Amino acid sequence: MTSSHPDQLDPSTAVVALGRPERTTGAALNPPVVLTSTFVGAGEPAPGERVYARYSNPTWEPLEAAIGALESSPVPGLAYASGMAAVSAAFSLVPIGGVAVIPRTAYNGTASLARELAADGALSLREVDSADTAAVIGALEGADLIWLESPSNPLLDVADLPAIRPAAQAAGVTVVVDNTFSTPLRQRPLEVGADVVVHSATKFIAGHSDVLMGLVVVKNQALRDALARRRTLAGSVPGAFDAWLALRGLRTMALRLDRAEASAGELARRLSEEPALSRVRYPGLPSDPHHDRAAAQMSGFGAIISVELAGGQGAAQAFVDSLELFTAATSLGGVESLAERRQRHPGEPAQVPQELVRLSIGIEHVEDLWADLQRGLRGAAASQG
Ligand SMILES: Cc1ncc(COP(=O)(O)O)c(C=O)c1O
C-alpha cells in the first residue's frame, strides 16, 4: 500500500493517494473487492494468515489505512457495518458499571444507545450541554468516557475540543469525538487530544447515499487490536463491497465537500435574511453563537444547515413538502440535497424544536438549490393561510 505520509500531502491529495496497491508493473491501480467468506488454509494459522472474512478482509484495509492517516493516527482505523456499529464499539470502552458523559443532544441513535445501556445497568450516564465547557469539565471527575459530537446533529452545537482535553486528561477520561459532520478534512480531533474518533462513513466519506458504514480511529496499536478482536466476536464487520464503495467515495470527498460547503455558506447567508425563519443554525454565519469557536478549531464549517420556521411545526412540514429538488429524507452528506423535519422521529431529543428542518446541502448548483428553498418558503407561507 502507498505509504506517503499525509503530513507531506494536502488532505485533498491524501484522499486520492492513500490506500493504493503497490505500484508494480501490471498491478491494478485500485484495490480489488475480495468477495469471499473464507480463506484457504490447513493446520494452525500462522500469525497474520487470513482465515475467515469476519476476522479480516483485504478490502477493508485500504480504507482503514486511509482514514487512520487522514485522522493523523499512526495506526489504521477500523471499519464497521454502520456508523452505529462504530458508536457501539466506542461505548464498549466504558467498563461495566462505569460512567459516560454524553451531550444531551447527541445524534438520537447515539443518545438512545447510551440511555438503553444505562437503563440495563451497564453504565451510568451524565448528560451535559456539550457547548457549555464549564458543565462538560464539571462532569468529568470519576467518569470513564466523554462523548462529544461537534458540530452536533442536528443543532450544530460546537464543543470546545482543545479546552476539554486537558481536563479530561487530568481526570483520566477517554475522549471520543464523533467527527461525522466535519470529516478529517475540516477537523482532526486526535490532534487536539481526543483518544477515539468515530464516523458514520455512510455520510460524507462514502458520499453517495448508497452505503452504510462506520469507522473508528484510535491512536495506539494495543487499543486497535482490542477493538478489532471485539469486532470479530461481535460480528459488526462491513461487507467487502461496501468498504470498496466507501473508499471510492473518499476519493472525491474533498471536491464534494468544497462544493457543498461553499453552497451551504451562501445559502445560510441568504436564509438568515428570510423573515419566515426564526433561526438559521450554521456555524459559518458570523451571527451564529458557535461561530468563533468553530472558526478557531475547524478549517471549514461543513454542509449542514438547520433552519427553524417562524410559523411552527405546520410551516416546517409545508416547507419540506413543497421542496422539489431537495428530497425529503433522513441522512446527510451525499451528493444530493436532503431536507428533514427532525422531530418526525420519536427518539429525537426534546431540545430539538418541532419547527426545525435539517438541510444537507449536496453538490447541485447553488442557484437551483436557492430557487428550491424559495419554493419551500412559499409553500410554508401558503400553509399559514
Ligand atoms: C453524527 C452521527 N453519528 C452516527 C450516526 C450513525 O450512523 P449510521 O446511520 O451509519 O449507523 C449518524 C447517522 O445519522 C450521525 O448523524
CA dihedral sign, ordered 241, 247, 251, 256: positive
Between CA 178 and CA 90 the distance in angstroms is 10
Contact 203, 361 (CB under 8 A): no
The per-residue pLDDT for range 211-268, each reduced to its tens digit, is: 999 999 999 999 999 999 999 999 999 999 999 999 999 999 999 999 999 999 999 9
Q: Are strands 98-103 and 356-360 parallel, antiparallel or unpaired?
A: unpaired
Catalytic site residue 219? no
Three-class SS state of 280: strand
**What Å distances lie between residue 163 and 132, 143, 188, 217, 370, CA to CA?**
11, 17, 15, 21, 37
Closest protein CA for atom 9 of ligand 1? 83
Q: How many CA atoms lie within 13 A of 135 on its CB side?
A: 13
User: Which single residue is written with the C-alpha cell 475480495?
Assistant: 34
How many angstroms does the Cα of residue 200 sit away from the middle of ligand 1?
Answer: 5
Bridge partners, residue 113, by sequence: none
From the list 144, 157, 160, 178, the catalytic residue is: 178
- Domains of the chain plus CATH, in order, are 6-250 (3.40.640.10), 254-383 (3.90.1150.10)
pLDDT value at position 4? Answer: 47
Residue 211, ligand 1, Cβ within 6 A: no
pLDDT digit string (tens) for 276-313?
A: 999 999 999 999 999 999 999 999 999 999 999 999 99
Active site residue 54: yes
Q: Spell out the per-residue pLDDT of the chain, length 385, in tens.
A: 444 455 689 999 999 999 999 999 999 999 999 999 999 999 999 999 999 999 999 999 999 999 999 999 999 999 999 999 999 999 999 999 999 999 999 999 999 999 999 999 999 999 999 999 999 999 999 999 999 999 999 999 999 999 999 999 999 999 999 999 999 999 999 999 999 999 999 999 999 999 999 999 999 999 999 999 999 999 999 999 999 999 999 999 999 999 999 999 999 999 999 999 999 999 999 999 999 999 999 999 999 999 999 999 999 999 999 999 999 999 999 999 999 999 999 889 999 999 999 999 999 999 999 999 999 999 999 999 8
Distance CA(61)–CA(91), nearest Å, equals 23
Question: Distance from the CA of 43 to the center of ligand 1, in angstroms?
Answer: 41
Instruction: Please give the Cα distance from 31 to 351 (Å, whole number).
Output: 44
pLDDT (0 to 100) of residue 347: 85
> Among 112, 187, 203, which residue has the most ligand 1 atoms within 8 Å of its CB, making it the best to mutate?
203
Query: Among this protein's residues, is 203 annotated catalytic?
Result: yes
Give nearest CA residue, ligand 1 atom 10: 83
DSSP secondary structure string for all residues of 114-158: HHHHHHTTSEEEEEE-TT-HHHHHHT-TT-SEEEEESS-TTT---
Closest C-alpha to ligand 1, atom 8:
83
Task: Report whether residue 200 contacts ligand 1, using a CB cutoff of 6 Å.
Answer: yes
371, 324 Cβ separation under 8 angstroms = no
